[in-house]
Amino acid sequence: MPPTPVSRTLSIALLIADTPAKPVLESKGDYLAIYTTWLQRSLKSIKRHHWQDKFTLDIRPFDVIKGQYPSDGQLKDGLWDAVMITGSASTVYGDVPWVKKLSEWIVDLAEQHPLVRICGYCWGHQLIAQAFGGKVIENPEGWELGVYDCELTEDGEEVFGFTKWDLEEESAGGKLQEVSESGEAESETKSVRLQQVHKDTVVEMPDDFNGSAFLKLASTPKCSIHSLALKYATDSPPIPSIAGTSDFIAFDTYSTPTSSGPSPPRGLQILTVQGHPEFTTEIVEMLIEAKTEMGNAPEEIKEEASKRAKREDDALKVGRRVLCMLGVEEAREEGGDSM
């Protein structure tokens, strides 16, 4: 008899490093609203069996420019499952006190509270890379604006490998692919498509951390390190709110196991992407307009950038992988329903 599902709440601390441009703020809200919309849409698109646990999200903002962070006591007690760092118009390599503090804090978080998952997007990706020993510079190749195909490495294919439920979305466009017995796609797809709004880039990998090497997951011709991951020593540690602690526990003995075993994102402590899965086409179009009007981006790239912004992207697919990292695994057999 299937187990009785439990209702769980995933607690996410959103470390906010900027305020959106005025047109975005007025029409789409602040970063808390933008990230919440993306993550909620991603959660609702995940197909789960009726006997699997039900999840809701509790996303709370912390203004790191003002020095706001989750307390050490809350982290120790397992009250935060994940920390996510937003984008920013700042640079990570300038001598800015709050950036330095955030860099030190995020490394300490990984060291002292290892069960807390860490994610970074655009500037957050760059901040994490630099904080752990990588190098970030202004890209001599210029801006990436709009949707780019980020070519996946072998490790990237494992983390972002699309399941058969993802392929249902592709089938309408004639892109349906074969699916293996495990439920993972046997696909020619070797890239993940994300909206981009950045000129800085990571050019050197972070150092090893506690004996584990950071993994490069994706790249574009303009940006060689587009996504990073750091694996745990085991493939499915529990999340803090289930374990009641942020101290490392090797295996999740609290959740109902599946016959196919944990998906690869379950074994990640850190996951970053240079892109903006939280941004919609409309948001990126407003940012392109604002950056070219202010002279931050050259006028001659506006037309191509605007065309790119209208391309389809994999924002929800990436969102599903992020939530899988937090234990919300997709059903791997027929019969799963969207949450």
Cα of first residue to Cα of last residue in the chain, in angstroms, is 22
The CA-based dihedral angle spanning residues 59, 64, 66, 72, taken in that order and rounded to the nearest 10 degrees: 80
Task: Give the burial string for 305-332 (b: 16+ CB within 10 Å, else e).
Answer: bbebbeeebbbbbbbbbbbbbbbbbbbb
Rounded CA separation 302/311 (Å): 15
Structure tokens at 284: 């990126």
Specify the residue for token string 């069960």: 115
Taking only the tens place, the pLDDT of each residue in 119-138 is 999 999 999 999 999 999 99
On whether the pTM is more than 0.75, the answer is yes
pLDDT at 330: 86
Tell me which residue of 246, 239, 249 sits closest to 72, measured CA to CA: 246
Sign for the pseudo-dihedral over CA of 71, 73, 74, 79:
positive
Q: Which residues contact 108 (CB under 8 A, 6 or more apart)?
A: none
CB 189 within 8 A of CB 123: no
Q: Mean per-residue pLDDT for 29-49?
A: 96
Quote the longest CA-to-CA distance of the chain.
Answer: 63
Using the predicted structure, report yes or no on whether residue 335 has a pLDDT greater than 70.
Answer: no
pLDDT at 256: 66
Sign for the pseudo-dihedral over CA of 67, 73, 74, 76:
positive
Specify the residue for token string 């890239």: 191
Rounded CA separation 72/82 (Å): 14
pLDDT at 24: 97
Rounded CA separation 175/166 (Å): 11
Q: How many residues in the chain?
A: 339
Taking only the tens place, the pLDDT of each residue in 172-228 is 444 433 433 444 444 455 899 999 999 999 999 999 999 999 999 999 999 999 999
Angle between the N-to-C axes of helices 315-325 and 164-171, in degrees from 0 to 180, rounded to the nearest 10: 170
Sign for the pseudo-dihedral over CA of 39, 80, 231, 126:
positive
State the amino acid at position 227 in one-letter form. S
CATH superfamily of the 7-338 domain: Class I glutamine amidotransferase (GATase) domain (3.40.50.880)
- Phi and psi, residue 338, nearest 5°: -65, 145
Using the predicted structure, report yes or no on whether residue 159 has a pLDDT greater than 70.
Answer: yes
Q: Kindly tell me the burial class for residue 78, based on how many C-beta atoms sit within 10 Å of its own C-beta (0-12, 13-18, 19 or more).
A: buried
Per the prediction, the chain carries an average pLDDT of: 91
Kindly state the helix (H) or strand (E) to which residue 228 belongs, with its residue range: strand 227-231
Specify the residue for token string 């002279």: 295
Collapsing DSSP to helix, strand or coil, 27 comes out as: helix
Collapsing DSSP to helix, strand or coil, 203 comes out as: strand
Rounded CA separation 278/295 (Å): 25
pLDDT at 2: 63
Taking only the tens place, the pLDDT of each residue in 176-186 is 334 334 444 44
pLDDT at 146: 98
Rounded CA separation 161/189 (Å): 9
Task: Give the burial string for 82-108 (b: 16+ CB within 10 Å, else e).
Answer: bbbbbbbebbbeeeeeebeebbebbbe
